Amino acid sequence: MTVFTVIQDTIPTNTTAHFSVLLTAKTVMTIPKLTPQSLMTAQIMKNIQQKMLIPKNFDDSNIPDKIHVLTLKEPWVYHIINSGKDVENRSWKLWNGFTGVAIALHSGKTIDKVSPKYQVNREKLNLGKIQAFVIFDGLNPDSEWAIQGLFNWKILETWQIPDPIPAIGKQGLWTIPRSIGLSDLWNDRGRTLKRVYQDGDNQKD
């Protein structure tokens, strides 16, 4: 008999397999025999093959943090933190469910080619690091920072991370290991972060 830990939502809730699953963040379940001849559904077998069922002694420090990260080229992270940039210009629409929630901003290692107005000395840029949290809400095509023809994600708030966190960026919205502590930083933002922008006042705290 083998005991496994199952991460929430890895097992379909409509299964007719003859065992119970408690849908908590981590649930211990017992499976008498892991064979194709068992009463488990094809989907559960597929999940097992993909290692979505993992041993009981699994270290959950590599489970993704619930806060997602967005990578930007510099100097745009710099301007969001230091210049009151109130939109993020993207060729794609912000995914459903990410409006009004905290998203961490990561600076890639690539510097965008910009006009002299927006150029920043390289030594001022924290390349390859997570530097801030923002909250997006709808679009703001009327912003002076908006680029016509793109989705101009409106920034409601920007909170700076005093000690930027090194990370390797990815495309789209992505997650990092829980051990990095983004959720802890955000949940305790009044003590750990500095709010540098809030929609409506256009001034730093």
Domain ranges of the chain: 2-58, 68-198
Q: Which residues of the chain have pLDDT under 70?
A: 1-62, 201-205
C-alpha separations of 27 from 4, 60, 110, 180 in Å: 8, 12, 42, 23
Report the pLDDT value the prediction gives residue 189, as an integer from 0 to 100. Answer: 96
C-alpha separations of 120 from 18, 106, 195 in Å: 62, 17, 21
Q: Please, are residues 196 and 78 in contact by the beta-carbon 8 Å criterion?
A: no
Report the pLDDT value the prediction gives residue 179, as an integer from 0 to 100. Answer: 87
Q: Record the tokens describing residue 128, joined without a space.
A: 């390859």
Among 3.20.20.70, 2.30.130.30, 3.50.50.60, 3.40.50.20, name the CATH number for the domain at 68-198: 2.30.130.30
Q: Please, are residues 78 and 120 in contact by the beta-carbon 8 Å criterion?
A: yes
Report the pLDDT value the prediction gives residue 21, as an integer from 0 to 100. Answer: 35
3-state class (DSSP) for residue 116? helix
C-alpha separations of 128 from 10, 11, 70, 165, 200 in Å: 32, 36, 12, 8, 30
Report the pLDDT value the prediction gives residue 10, as an integer from 0 to 100. Answer: 40
pTM for the model: 0.70
3-state class (DSSP) for residue 4? strand
Q: Please, are residues 133 and 186 in contact by the beta-carbon 8 Å criterion?
A: yes
Which amino acid is present at 64? P
